[in-house]
Structure 1
Amino acid sequence: MNKILKIEALGFPWKTQDPFLFCAYHRDEYPKGNSQMGVDSDLLKGRNIGQDFSVNENWRMYHGSSIPGFPYHPHRGFETITINKEGVVDHTDSLGAAGRFMAGDVQWMTAGKGVQHSEMFPLLNENKDNPLEIFQVWLNLPSYSKMVEPHFKMLWNEDIPVINHKDSANKITTVEVIAGRIHSVKSLDATPNSWAARTENAVGVYTVKMEVNAEWTLPKTNSNANRSIFYYKGETIEIEGVKIDAKQTIEALAGEDILIKNGASDSYFLILEGNPIGEPVVQHGPFVMNTQEEIRETMKAFGKTQFGGWPWKQREVAHPRDKGRFALHSNGKEEIK
């Protein structure tokens, strides 16, 4: 049986399968930060700040005017799962919630009926570079959950289950179980209204690192699920005997075990799988609904309410340099790490 269904090159953003909408992967080698946690003006010359997504640059300022990141913007009808591998992300939203999360942490946000949020990448280090590596996965919501109350939660690095699989040659494969289950290892709970909150939907989100020449088998899950393996860093691997170069997406059967053999360098993957929602998807920028009429209603609602407005003084909110990892929720509860 051919367990590999499709192989194609990674683009930007990464193409995903239902129930996911897409994945944006960012790797930016930011320089030393200045006193405002941004980039010195002489390094900004020649860059189209506010629109700079050039894949030819080793760092991109995105839409921030001084600090890298994304000033406040709206979402409705889906979820974001932001996986931080390196660097700093500062969150604020229209509900009055805020947070800072760092390497290994994951933020899971249900936009539901509508929320605005800001995601900034303050450059805390003044004496050394500030690399940033994040994935932002967009996970769709079924029609019955499109208009739920917005919600966010933190999956802290210390709490996320990790598997260190040792093969017969003592080579290690490390798997972070962000959503779903690998054998007996179960993830932390998803947000309450997520498609991933129901185990029968078989949603899995895993990040994987394989040592040189390591072997690991991705176990089978629900045969109705879609499964994508994003091989974003490394040299070559073999999946079920097929040699594959890095920077490829591999779609594979979810109802079969998938044997992966690594090559001569460490290899890194993001794996997304889950039962499809199977509903029409109509997207207009940051809004994802089921019909064009719902999109028009969403645009009217945002124009009228601004999804609660913006309670912060700045469009680009960065927390103090000496602030550690934390999450302040809209109900006033604060988590400090």
Structure 2
Amino acid sequence: MNWPTTDPFLFCAHHRDDYPEGNAQMGPAASLAGRHLGRDFDEEKSWRMYHGRSVPGFPRHPHRGFETVTVVRSGFLDHTDSMGATARYGAGDVQWLTAGAGIQHSEMFPLLRSDAPNPLELFQIWMNLPRADKMVDPHFTMLWNERIPRVIEHDAKGRISELTIAAGTFKDNRPPAPPPSSWATRQESDVAIWSIRMEAGARLELPEVNPGTLRSLYVHQGQGVTIAGRAIANKRRVEFEQPGPIILEGGSAEAEVLLLQGAPIGEPVAKRGPFVMNTQQEIRQAYADYQRTGFGGWSFHDNGPVHEVKKGRFALHADGTFDEPV
């Protein structure tokens, strides 16, 4: 499911797939008959292969001029890229990738369990880069689940709301820094990405923001949620331009809400396929550069590599730096 966004965000996809047990190749141990392999996006099915053919996911593809923030709530993702970097992350981890001048990467969803289902849920958020940073060197940062702040708030009746802070600050709780060239590194950006879980009937006050900052709240689980006095149905979004506090009230069951917040970059946006620049001429140049250079080429054995089934969560960066959760 794709949701509309506002500047500085470009795109927000919510993937939720109830994958079955995995086979020896870490693909689904189930028939693929009747699926449009290579382009399986059927929302009527309980799970999709997307662009994968044996393992679900998104084999190698290019990007330029923006960032991807991938928030994995359940399941796992195997990353490889044209800088030679690799990673496996999931179960609460966040990958923040600055495509900058250009990168190819593969995002595959290995089904690691052969004895049980492999549910996957993630958000992929595209965030723009300012003109001055669109051609920086590619870079990615891992925000491991163990390092991401989770804040428990109790309302006057003791009901609980839990906030997971992937970007921004809530009551002095701050996550690890985003990549160095991200719009989110600038103080004036006021960027926040929060996942909010509310018990039934819980009440939560979101703090005020800087004038000009835009906030979008996406209800992706639960009925009867009220935001600033407005009833918001499940799978719906509400946008706020005013800077004052916002009151969220849960319905009759647990609810989950995603907050995307930021000050607009306020520059022209030219977008085509996997490239986001400021002008159509720059888009044409991006395609030409990709055809000429492959943004570093591809050194892996296939277009959608997966790591060994027993491999844990890790990141091996292009400079040889190894990172893993602690």
Q: How does 1:187-206 map to 2 (within 5 A)?
A: 187-206=175-194
Name the amino acid aligned to 1:36: Q
SS in 2 for 1:126: coil
Q: How does 1:74-93 map to 2 (within 5 A)?
A: 74-93=62-81
| Alpha-carbon distance between aligned partners in 2 of 1:147 and 1:240, rounded to the nearest angstrom | 40
Give the one of 6, 16, 19 matched to 2:5.
Answer: 16
Residue matched to 1:334: 322
Residue matched to 1:107: 95
Deviations 1:112-139 (A, max 9, x none): 0000000000001101100000000000
Q: How does 1:81-160 map to 2 (within 5 A)?
A: 81-160=69-148
Deviations 1:12-69 (A, max 9, x none): 42100000001011000001111111123x5211111111111111100011110011
| Contact residue 66 and residue 276 of structure 2 kept, 8 A | yes
Deviations 1:257-296 (A, max 9, x none): 0011101111011100110001111111000000010011
| Contact residue 147 and residue 175 of structure 2 kept, 8 A | no
| Alpha-carbon distance between aligned partners in 2 of 1:254 and 1:142, rounded to the nearest angstrom | 23
Deviations 1:61-97 (A, max 9, x none): 0111100111000000000000000001000000000
Residue matched to 1:3: none
| Alpha-carbon distance between aligned partners in 2 of 1:332 and 1:152, rounded to the nearest angstrom | 13
- The answer to whether the aligner puts 1:45 opposite 2:33 as a matched pair is yes
Q: How does 1:202-281 map to 2 (within 5 A)?
A: 202-281=190-269
Name the amino acid aligned to 1:20: F
Mind listing any 5+ residue stretches in structure 2 that lack a counterpart? none
CA positional deviation for 1:255:
0.7
Deviations 1:294-317 (A, max 9, x none): 011111100000000001111111
| Alpha-carbon distance between aligned partners in 2 of 1:319 and 1:44, rounded to the nearest angstrom | 22
| Contact residue 219 and residue 255 of structure 2 kept, 8 A | yes
| Alpha-carbon distance between aligned partners in 2 of 1:312 and 1:147, rounded to the nearest angstrom | 25
| Contact residue 21 and residue 111 of structure 2 kept, 8 A | yes
Name the amino acid aligned to 1:27: R
CA positional deviation for 1:254:
4.5
Count residues with an aligned counterpart.
325
| Contact residue 254 and residue 273 of structure 1 kept, 8 A | no
| Alpha-carbon distance between aligned partners in 2 of 1:305 and 1:324, rounded to the nearest angstrom | 32
SS in 2 for 1:81: strand
Mind listing any 5+ residue stretches in structure 1 that lack a counterpart? 1-11
| Contact residue 203 and residue 248 of structure 2 kept, 8 A | yes
Name the amino acid aligned to 1:281: V
SS in 2 for 1:295: helix
Residue matched to 1:66: 54
